[in-house]
Amino acid sequence: MIRSGNARTVASLAVVSALAVVLAGCETTNLGGMFGSSTPAAAPEPGVAPEMPATIRSDEIVGRWGLASYQDPKDRARTEAMARSQCKQPYTITAGSSGGVIMHLADQATPQELRLKGSPSGKNYIGPAGPTPGDQDREIVSFDGRVMVTRFVEKDAGTRYGNMVYVRCAPRA
């Protein structure tokens, strides 16, 4: 015969054992570093990659730039010339305190520090910390050190701003 104290202990162990089995099938956090498990962390959402280094360094885009934009790819050469003419009132990209660059986000009056982010596809983006590509990111469509073309990822901003052409201004004499 089982005494009531032992019955409670057996019942408690049964509940704890059942709970352990249920929880073993549910991984909501990765505590592997704490308990020695090698279970990988949850995968990011499809189409959104974790942040990774860009192939373009932030110091490569710091400087003074003439800025213009176009919608139709046939207008790119003309727009580059227009951007070059804007060097008398350049758009200045400065270095951020955390290794990023100070630029404006779409529809924001105040510039802020943004990061250069890479992606598994090899594309580079400029935007706030977070998944790549994020809604506030702009893709660097092309960059040769002298001319940079970007386009906002978010469809509405991409339509309003078009392809942004930055032409590096000559250093001041």
In whole angstroms, give the CA distance from residue 80 to residue 165: 6
Residue type, 79: T
- Cβ atoms within 10 Å, residue 16: 10
Burial environment of residue 165 by CB neighbours within 10 A (0 to 12, 13 to 18, 19 or more): buried
Give the mean model confidence (pLDDT) for residues 114-137: 95
Q: Look up residue 17 and give its amino acid.
A: S
pLDDT tens, position by position, 3-51: 555 555 544 444 444 434 434 444 444 434 444 444 454 544 556 656 7
Q: How many CB atoms lie within 10 A of CB 102?
A: 17
pLDDT tens figures, 87-121: 999 999 999 999 999 999 999 999 999 999 999 99
DSSP letter for 103, please: E
pTM for this entry? 0.71
